[in-house]
Each structure stands twice: as C-alpha cells, then as structure tokens.
A and B are shown apart, each in its own frame.
Chain A
Amino acid sequence: MKLKEYEKLVDKHSKKENKLLNFFISFLFGGIIGVLGELFVVFLEKKFYLPLSEAYMYLMIFLVVFGSILTGTGYFDKVVSFAKAGLIVPTTGFAHTMTSCAMDHAEEGPVKGIGSNIFKMTGCVILYGLVSAFFLALLKGVIK
C-alpha cells in the first residue's frame, strides 16, 4: 500500500475532534477551577488569616497534591478525556506530568527508574522557566 492511500485510510477511521467544542469545554473547566481556587484563597484568608502571597502558595500546593493523587489513582486521564486542557493548563497538569513520568518507570527501581526519569518531561518546564526568568530579571534589573 502506498503511503498516501494509508494516510487516507487513517484519516477516514480516526475520530474527528471538534476543535470549537474542545475550546469551550476547556474554557468551562478552566474557569470552574479558577473559581474554586478563588474560593479556596478567600477561605484561607478568612479562616486562617494568611497573607495573600502565602494563600496563593497553599493554593499551588493544593493543586499539586490534587493532581498527583488523581494521577496515582488513575482518574486523571479519565477526567482529562472530557475536561481537555481545562485540567492540563492549571498546575495540576504540571504535577500530573511529573507523577506519571515517575510512575511509568517505578518498577525499574527507586534510583534508576524514578530517579532518572522523574524530570523527564517537567525538566523542560523547569529549565526554560528558570532560564527565561533569570535573564528577564537580569535585564529588567539592569535597565532600571
């Protein structure tokens, strides 16, 4: 079979995803998570009298723990299959990427498996985040 015919066959049988629908679904779920986060921050401020920056830190920690546990129990992929990017773009997605990389290689042992694979995908996030923040901060500091 030629490559073009094969591609046509694949095209015919692969599911067409509705991009507009995906857009609105991720908007909806992302928005809901944003509102829940705001409720959580207000709750921390009112109940525990935390300053705003610490409330934001606990919000990030809560999202990370939530994402990790969802990944560990295997529900993350099920939720993502209908919430789309509404759960990937919040910090839960970061925790999911890190946890799933670690989990996939857990059976190879704690050092060679988890140790060498835990930053496989999130290394990208930390590397470019850190490098860009470093140079941008240096630039802004020197300009001022």
Chain B
Amino acid sequence: MIYINAFILCGLICALGQLLLDNTNLTPGHLNAILVVIGAFLSFLGLYEVMLDWAGAGASVPITNFGHLLFKGAYEGFLSDGFTGLLKGILSTSSGGLSVAIIMAFLVAIFSKPKH
C-alpha cells in the first residue's frame, strides 16, 4: 500500500529533522540545507529512485527531493551532453519549484504586512 509507505517515509524524515532541531542549535534554514545535501547524496548513491518507487510522494514531499532534483538534472544532462549538458541541466528539473518559490515570496512580501 503506497499510502502507508508514504506516511512512514515522510514521517521518518520529518522526525529525523525534529531530532536534529532538538539536539543541536540549528535553525530551520540550516536544517533545510543539510537535508538538501543529504538528498543529493542519496540520489548520488541511487537510493532516491528506490525511495520514490517505494513511497511515491512520501519521498517527493520533503525538502530532500530538491537535492534529488538538482542531482538528477545535472547527471542526466551530463549523460546526454557532457559538461555542457551538466551546466544546462543542473537547475532544469527543479526550476518549477524554485521559480514559484521566489515569485510567491516576492508577491507575499509585497502584499502582506508583517505582524510584530
């Protein structure tokens, strides 16, 4: 059952993040950076595709997926087009999420007043 797998995997990654937050003095921003590097490394080892097959969106929801997308774009570019492909492909697969994040952050910052 893929829904149970998604629950377990996504929950485990979040719980690991909570453990890191509780036992170190990292801020959420730094936690996200660590998770992205972990995601890229898991993708390097070829484990991330297995996780995506096993848990579906459970592996796609956490921020580790961003690292996986960066690695996947770079690696697929390298396979098809050498070094040029790597440079062209590194942001290609994650472009959608990153662009929307920047645009939404800008729009929200313009149209909302921070509450102090």
Contacts and interface: CB of A to CB of B under 8 A. Distances in A.
Interface residues of A, number: 78
Given A30-B15, A34-B9, A91-B66, A124 B31 contact: no
Nearest to B79: A141
Contact of A38 (B6, B28, B94, B115): B6
Contacts, number: 266
Interface string A51-69: 0010011111101110011
Interface string B103-115: 0111111111111
Given A30-B13, A37-B60, A99-B109, A125 B97 contact: no
B97 A61 contact: yes
What does DSSP make chain A's interface, helix, strand, loop or mixed?
helix
Contacts of B17: 26, 85, 88-89
Interface of B: 2-3, 6-15, 17-19, 21-23, 27-33, 35-37, 39-41, 43-44, 55-58, 60-63, 65-67, 70-71, 73-75, 77-79, 86, 90-91, 93-94, 96-98, 100-102, 104-115
In order of increasing CB-CB distance, the 9 nearest A-B pairs are: A30-B14, A34-B10, A31-B11, A137-B74, A121-B29, A102-B109, A37-B57, A133-B70, A85-B18
